[in-house]
Structure 1
Amino acid sequence: MSKSGHSKLHIAMFPWVAYGHFIPFLHLSNKLAHKGHQISFFLPKGVQPKLENLNQYPNLIRFFPLHIPHVDGLPPGAETTSVVPMNQQKYLAFAVDQTRDQVEGILKVIKPDMVFYDFWFWIPDLARQLGILPIFYVVVSSMSMGLNTKVLTKEMTVEEVMELPPGYPLSTVKLKPEEAAVMLFEAEDFGSGLSFRERIRTAVKGSDAIAFRTCSEIEEPFCDFVAEGFGKPVLLSGPCLPETNTQQLDEEWVSWLSQFEPGSVVFCSFGSQSVLQKDEFQELVLGFELCGLPFLVALKPPQGFSTVEEALPEGFQDRVGGRGLVYGGWVPQEQLLHHPNIGCFVNHCGYGTMWEFLLSDCQIVLIPEIGDQILNTRLMANELKIGVEVERGKNREVPKESLSEAIKFVMDKDNETANMMKRNHAKLKQILSNRDLQEGYINNFIKALQDLVK
């Protein structure tokens, strides 16, 4: 490879087997391929057909399908987190760890300059043996990773987790005991005899650099904190958002939304992994009924049910009539967020979803479930002040009254705080929508990668 500043890179990508990881890795791949760099993308065999339509440069981005072996504890044919409950994902991690020989065989043949990975703790050693640079690519916030400079150990108490690391940039995080307990849950077994945190710690420790899908405009202090805490170069790819999807919404959605006023519909989605218990599901939909506004709720059927309809509270559909729709299938979230009649988005603040709502005009209501979502939510609600977090009850349940109040609060056009959030959101959207911003980030990112291989 030419060592000049214009050298073309060959980068292998090997994300964790969840769509919330495949997609940002592929968005980055598209940005790099757009600049003429070659990408080799590792993924489970059955996932390739689902991602091919997102590959904008098939001449430069090549998929390498892996056969994921069956291991005890996994549903037959399972390849991704979308069909594996959270408590069984350790088996999925272990199954993908068994692909090491397949990965090594491919890397020996294709000889990339570097490999981007996240959960695969064995990649750094393998990459170094083959003369390939290992780069840890993070698809959660640098804020979450910053907290991990301290929490990346197995033996910690809830009280210790609640205390932020010295010098941590966000004083408003203030984890509650039950949230710290959620963080500690991530210290449990996660396949191959490692806890989740040990897996990540080993993966980070072995890397030549840590790369983040973010920008200084939102997370600069946390990126600096991570660089110092881990003693590694930190590279920022920018948000790597795809061009706004101009594809038209399906007629069924347009037709349903057209019944309502602009900015009046509340949309709720918790992503592909969230499966609620029946009582949580019912309480949530009753909260939407209580708010009195038109709503579209897209959730997976709760535990033990095959459809959302059979899990709805008694008399619910008669009471909400045509005002509310609870839908159990996949919805085009990004396109729905840009429909003019949707005015509020209720979500879990997963990192990918966060970037999507930052580019929308919706008011934001947040109900985080797991560790990084809690931290993303604090950043959005407490620091950037662009949304509100729903107040949970004692056992982390979401009371219908709390949800209803949060929605009514942000949708009140006469409420000065809600209007201030809307203005803050609009300013941030304007910054992030600037094409020159993303262009600058990706150019600097490529230059930093080229400097690493010199």
Structure 2
Amino acid sequence: MAMARNTKFQIAMYPWFAFGHLTPYLHLSNELAERGHKITFILPEKTQSQLQHLNLHPTLITFHPLTIPHVDGLPPGAETASDVPFFSHHLLATAMDRTSDQVEAALRALKPDFFFFDFPYWAPALASKLGIKSIYYSAVCASAVAHHPPPGRQVSKDSTLTTDVPPPGYPSPTVVLRSHEAWMVQFLFAPFGEGVNLYQRLTTGMKGCDAISIRTCQEIEGPFCDYLASQYGKPVLLTGPVLPKPLPTPLEDRWAQWLGGFKPGSVIFCAFGSQNFPGKDQFQELLLGLELTGLPFLVALKPPTGAATIEEALPEGFQERVGGRGVVHGGWVPQPSILSHPSVGCFVSHCGFGSMWESLTSDPQIVLVPELPDQILNTRLLAEVLKVAVEIDKEQNGWFSKESLCRAIRSVMDEESEVGGLVRKNHAKWKKTLTGQGFMSNYIDNFVQQLQQLLDKK
């Protein structure tokens, strides 16, 4: 029996244990709660305290903590991707899969209308058994999702997935992984949990769900979304960027005072998300590249792999040379607030999906230093399709030099630069579109209507 229109939904959400997934799921939860829907957010127990401040509707958004099962090789107390190095993420995936009994018990008690998920590939079968609609909600770009070959296509480590040639029918000749980046794709086929690799994990979830949903918009990634809908034969629902509304709290004094000491548009801000920088050598090359620009810079990075602190990873004599014009901070910083400061003129980013949207809706010029495959695809979208950013040149082994970083920054910061003028013009156009009155709220309203239509098909 079809439900009445304007029904308030009961929703359960279970994202991958990484803040790049947990946070966007919570941002979406806030938007849905603002419209009166009730959400139960399933997450690791200790992670609740780290996300509680982002819950803007605690009467409608309830955290349901899980106990993370023991997995041999996973450090005690590890609950998120930030707690373990990248090469141990497959163990965290095993831990997530071992929570299925806890998740089933929660769903039986909650009886939600929808179950949103991404990495737990068993979610659609569980939801179907309990009479719940399952929504594969991607917190990464549509172009990355579209790189997973559609159902029925033969795939192997030697397939066209890892070459300069996109899959047949793929909607973009530029948003692809280059042949020398093929090694980055190999983790798709490496074990990612017990008896499953990442490729199987993601495509099984998309094959089995009732609808695929993506945190993107038609204006930016329309061809990729249409491609997915045709290949998977099911609705692809878009939520828009789902960026949090700016908080009224001012920038912390230490950052406001430091940034205020430089002229408008002169400071480089560099941040690469919540995970560790891959290695000390590249970490130092990054800092030396920033030093080489001669411009003031603020770097917010975790210590690189193999270093306990930021201080021990700094290049020799670095602090003495840069003095007060360069700050390297190993803790959290309020990225949106820093990007909105008038002194910041360039954002050097890894181009994680959240940072991608934040960069597009801010004024600073964009230089991209991607590491993971989805970040590379985000980067190609911004640099080669939208032409709002510059991607750093890398060697065949994936490394970059201080000279290439300096060159990329100078290309967008120099007033006389032709490249800088082009990306500045395009960036301004897209910022105006994305921040226009009603743009994001209209996406959420339409998304809610599509959920209702999906529920009415019972």
Alpha-carbon distance between aligned partners in 2 of 1:172 and 1:304, rounded to the nearest angstrom: 35
After superposition, residues 251-262 of structure 1 pair within 5 angstroms as: 251-262=253-264
After superposition, residues 20-419 of structure 1 pair within 5 angstroms as: 20-149=20-149, 155-157=156-158, 161-162=162-163, 163-419=165-421
Q: 2:434 aligns with which of 432, 435, 442?
A: 432
Alpha-carbon distance between aligned partners in 1 of 2:252 and 2:345, rounded to the nearest angstrom: 19
Alpha-carbon distance between aligned partners in 1 of 2:136 and 2:115, rounded to the nearest angstrom: 8
Alpha-carbon distance between aligned partners in 2 of 1:128 and 1:80, rounded to the nearest angstrom: 27
Alpha-carbon distance between aligned partners in 1 of 2:150 and 2:319, rounded to the nearest angstrom: 48
Alpha-carbon distance between aligned partners in 2 of 1:182 and 1:302, rounded to the nearest angstrom: 19
Under a length normalisation based on structure 2, what TM-score does the superposition of the two structures give? 0.96
- Aligned-pair CA distance for 1:108: 0.7
Counterpart AA for 2:138: V
Counterpart secondary structure, 2:148: helix
- Aligned-pair CA distance for 1:246: 2.8
- Aligned-pair CA distance for 1:301: 1.1
Which residue is equivalent to 2:445? 443
Structure 2, unpaired ranges of 5+: none
Identity %: 52
- Aligned-pair CA distance for 1:41: 0.7
- Aligned-pair CA distance for 1:262: 0.7
- Aligned-pair CA distance for 1:154: 5.6
Q: CA-to-partner distance for each residue in 1:410-431, whole Å, 9 max, x for gaps?
A: 0011123211211211111111
Q: CA 1:38–1:159 in structure 2 vs 1: closer, same or farther (change >3 Å)?
A: closer
Counterpart secondary structure, 1:296: strand
Q: CA 1:174–1:140 in structure 2 vs 1: closer, same or farther (change >3 Å)?
A: closer
Q: CA 1:270–1:160 in structure 2 vs 1: closer, same or farther (change >3 Å)?
A: closer
Counterpart AA for 1:62: T
Contact 2:18 2:81 in 1 (8 A): yes
Alpha-carbon distance between aligned partners in 2 of 1:262 and 1:366, rounded to the nearest angstrom: 21
Counterpart AA for 2:290: F
Alpha-carbon distance between aligned partners in 1 of 2:167 and 2:140, rounded to the nearest angstrom: 18
- Aligned-pair CA distance for 1:298: 1.3
Q: CA-to-partner distance for each residue in 1:28-62, whole Å, 9 max, x for gaps?
A: 11111111111111001101111111111111111
Contact 1:121 1:200 in 2 (8 A): yes
- Aligned-pair CA distance for 1:446: 0.7
Counterpart AA for 2:77: G
Please tell me the root mean square deviation across aligned C-alpha atoms, in Å.
Answer: 1.5
Alpha-carbon distance between aligned partners in 1 of 2:160 and 2:215, rounded to the nearest angstrom: 31
Counterpart AA for 1:413: E
Counterpart secondary structure, 2:64: strand
Q: CA 1:310–1:160 in structure 2 vs 1: closer, same or farther (change >3 Å)?
A: closer
- Aligned-pair CA distance for 1:202: 1.0
Alpha-carbon distance between aligned partners in 1 of 2:13 and 2:414, rounded to the nearest angstrom: 45
Q: CA-to-partner distance for each residue in 1:10-45, whole Å, 9 max, x for gaps?
A: 111000001111111011111111111111110011
Q: CA 1:178–1:393 in structure 2 vs 1: closer, same or farther (change >3 Å)?
A: same
Q: How many residues get paired?
A: 454
Alpha-carbon distance between aligned partners in 2 of 1:184 and 1:3, rounded to the nearest angstrom: 45
Greater CA drift, 295-304 or 12-21? 295-304
Counterpart secondary structure, 2:180: helix
Contact 1:158 1:181 in 2 (8 A): no
Counterpart AA for 1:161: T
Counterpart AA for 2:30: N
Structure 1, unpaired ranges of 5+: none
Counterpart AA for 1:100: S
Contact 2:160 2:166 in 1 (8 A): no
- Aligned-pair CA distance for 1:150: 5.1
Under a length normalisation based on structure 1, what TM-score does the superposition of the two structures give? 0.97
- Aligned-pair CA distance for 1:165: 1.4
Contact 1:124 1:203 in 2 (8 A): yes
Alpha-carbon distance between aligned partners in 2 of 1:204 and 1:412, rounded to the nearest angstrom: 45
Contact 2:391 2:408 in 1 (8 A): yes
